Amino acid sequence: MNTATNVQKQLSRVDRALRSGTLADIAGVISEMSPGDVAHLINTSPPNYRHVLWSLVDDEQEAEVINELPEDLRNAFLVDLQPEELAEIVGQLDDDDVADILQELPEEVTSLVLSIMDDQDRARIEAVLGFSDDVAGGLMSTDTITIRADLTLDVVLRYLRRHSEIPQNTDSLIVVNRDDAYVGLLPVRTLLVSDPNVSVREMMITSREPIPAGMEAAEVARRFERNDWISAPVVDDVGRLLGRITIDDIVDVIREEADHSLAALAGLGEEDTFSSIVQTAPRRAIWLGINLATAFLAAWVINLFQGTIEKVVALAVLMPIVASMGGIAGTQTLTVLIRAFAMGHINDRNQLWLIGRETAIGLINGLLWAIVVSAAAAMWFDDIRLGAVIAAAMFINLLTAGTTGALLPLALRRLGIDPALAGGVVLTTITDVVGFLSFLGLATLLYG
Considering only residues 142-181, where is the footprint of a copy of itself by CB under 8 A?
157, 160-161, 163-166, 168-171
Among 123, 198, 205, 251, indicate the residue that binds a copy of itself (CB under 8 A). 251
Q: Smaller CB distance to a copy of itself: residue 79 or 372?
A: 372
Q: How far is the CB of 125 from a copy of itself (least distance, A)?
A: 20
Query: Which DSSP letter does residue 181 get?
Result: B
Q: Smaller CB distance to a copy of itself: residue 83 or 332?
A: 332
Instruction: Please report whether residue 230 would count as binding a copy of itself according to CB under 8 A.
Output: yes
- Total site size for a copy of itself, rule CB under 8 A: 134
Among 114, 147, 203, 250, indicate the residue that binds a copy of itself (CB under 8 A). 250
> Restricting to residues 396-415, which ones interact with a copy of itself according to CB under 8 A?
398
CA distance 376 to 297: 29
Q: How far is the CB of 228 from a copy of itself (least distance, A)?
A: 4
> Restricting to residues 363-382, which ones interact with a copy of itself according to CB under 8 A?
364-365, 368-369, 372-373, 376
Instruction: Please report whether residue 205 would count as binding a copy of itself according to CB under 8 A.
Output: no
Q: Taking phi first (over 0 means left), then psi (-120 to 50 degrees means alpha), and beta for anything else, what does residue 344 get?
A: left
Q: How far is the CB of 310 from a copy of itself (least distance, A)?
A: 5
Q: How far is the CB of 106 from a copy of itself (least distance, A)?
A: 28
Instruction: Please report whether residue 243 would count as binding a copy of itself according to CB under 8 A.
Output: no
Backbone dihedral angles phi then psi of residue 333, each to the nearest 5 degrees: -65, -45
- Cα angle, residue 107 at apex, residues 106 and 108 outer, rounded to 5°: 95
> Restricting to residues 278-317, which ones interact with a copy of itself according to CB under 8 A?
280-281, 284-285, 287-289, 291-292, 295-296, 298-299, 302-303, 306, 309-310, 313-314, 316-317
Instruction: Please report whether residue 349 would count as binding a copy of itself according to CB under 8 A.
Output: yes
Q: Write the DSSP assignment of 31-59 as a string of letters.
A: HHS-HHHHHHHHHTS-HHHHHHHHHHS-H
Among 58, 80, 154, 209, indicate the residue that binds a copy of itself (CB under 8 A). 209
Q: Taking phi first (over 0 means left), then psi (-120 to 50 degrees means alpha), and beta for anything else, what does residue 21 get?
A: left
Choices 20-28, 79-87, 275-283, 410-418 (CB under 8 A): range interacting with a copy of itself: 275-283
Q: Smaller CB distance to a copy of itself: residue 82 or 164?
A: 164
Over the window 58 to 97, marking each residue x when it contacts a copy of itself by CB under 8 A and - when it does not, the resulting string is ----------x-----------------------------
Choices 34-42, 81-89, 116-124, 408-416 (CB under 8 A): range interacting with a copy of itself: 34-42
CA distance 94 to 169: 12
Instruction: Please report whether residue 245 would count as binding a copy of itself according to CB under 8 A.
Output: no
Choices 71-79, 127-135, 251-259, 411-419 (CB under 8 A): range interacting with a copy of itself: 251-259
User: What are the residue ranges of helices labelled H in 130-216?
Assistant: 136-139, 153-163, 188-193, 200-203
> 3-class DSSP state for residue 287?
helix
> 3-class DSSP state for residue 273?
coil
User: What are the residue ranges of helices labelled H in 143-216?
Assistant: 153-163, 188-193, 200-203
Instruction: Please report whether residue 126 would count as binding a copy of itself according to CB under 8 A.
Output: no
Q: Which of 326, 298, 344 is nearest to 402 (CA)?
A: 326
User: What residues have CB less than 8 Å from 22, skipping those under 6 apart?
Assistant: none
b/e burial code for range 61-83 (CB count within 10 A of at least 16 → b): bbbbbbbbbbeebbeebbeebeb
Among 45, 142, 438, 444, indicate the residue that binds a copy of itself (CB under 8 A). 45
Among 71, 72, 88, 248, indicate the residue that binds a copy of itself (CB under 8 A). 248
Please list the helix, strand and coil fractions of the chain in percent, rounded to the nearest 5, in that order. 70, 10, 25
Q: Smaller CB distance to a copy of itself: residue 44 or 132?
A: 44
CA distance 337 to 120: 46
